[in-house]
Chains A and B, each alone.
Chain A
């Protein structure tokens, strides 16, 4: 079973920041938080991952709380092409596979 809890859906206005929350209260010390997204009919796409510190790349920022029990993925300027299902995944180093939950369906509206 997935170790994360995400809202089933969210809306965001185009050009605004999209903040997607994720709860992972049972996360272990050596487990990373990964974010993937899946645009309709495509394969999942890696976005970002982190352990303790906040992370930023060209796609998004990841904010992890100090107790590591929750995190937020931030898309700073959402576009219509960011409409997708976003998956938050907790995974340890010895675990090969990704366990996908139901994710959050983000709809970016004009």
Chain B
């Protein structure tokens, strides 16, 4: 299996621009998670989906952030407009149905720099 695929791997943009991060989960996994990692805050959950439905988006910083999962094999995280404080590494993870012993598999991340 190819594992969780994220694109782009690196993104540099200017403040105010729209940024779209993409994730392809592992085939057969029906839970998908978006995390963000910064030096100050460490790894934190932004949102997660179960069967393409958003379950918990309490970690989404503000209305500038939105996430979608139109089908089982694709998800996007959009930031509009982007700000310098959004600079971070964004990870996508997927797992089998949420339960006692499910394991999350992480992608390689997208390193976002907002100038």
Residues of chain A touching chain B, judged by Cβ–Cβ distance below 8 Å, are: 30, 32, 42-46, 49, 51, 93-94, 96-102
Contact = CB atoms under 8 A, between A and B. Distances in A.
A32 B101 contact: yes
Contacts of A96: 31, 33, 48, 50, 55-56, 98
Interface string B27-41: 000010100000000
A46 B42 contact: no
Contacts of A32: 100-101
B103 A46 contact: yes
Contacts, number: 51
Contact of A93 (B42, B56, B100): B100
Contacts of A97: 33, 45, 48, 56, 59
Interface in B64-106: 91, 93, 98-101, 103-106
Interface of B: 4, 31, 33, 42-45, 48, 50, 55-56, 59, 91, 93, 98-101, 103-109
Nearest to A93: B100
A16 B54 CA distance: 45
Contacts of B93: 43-44
B100 A30 contact: yes
Contact of A100 (B31, B43, B101, B105): B43
28 contacts: A30-B100, A32-B100, A32-B101, A42-B108, A42-B109, A43-B4, A43-B93, A43-B106, A43-B107, A43-B109, A44-B43, A44-B91, A44-B104, A45-B106, A46-B103, A51-B100, A93-B98, A93-B100, A94-B98, A96-B48, A97-B33, A97-B45, A98-B33, A98-B43, A98-B104, A99-B45, A100-B44, A102-B42
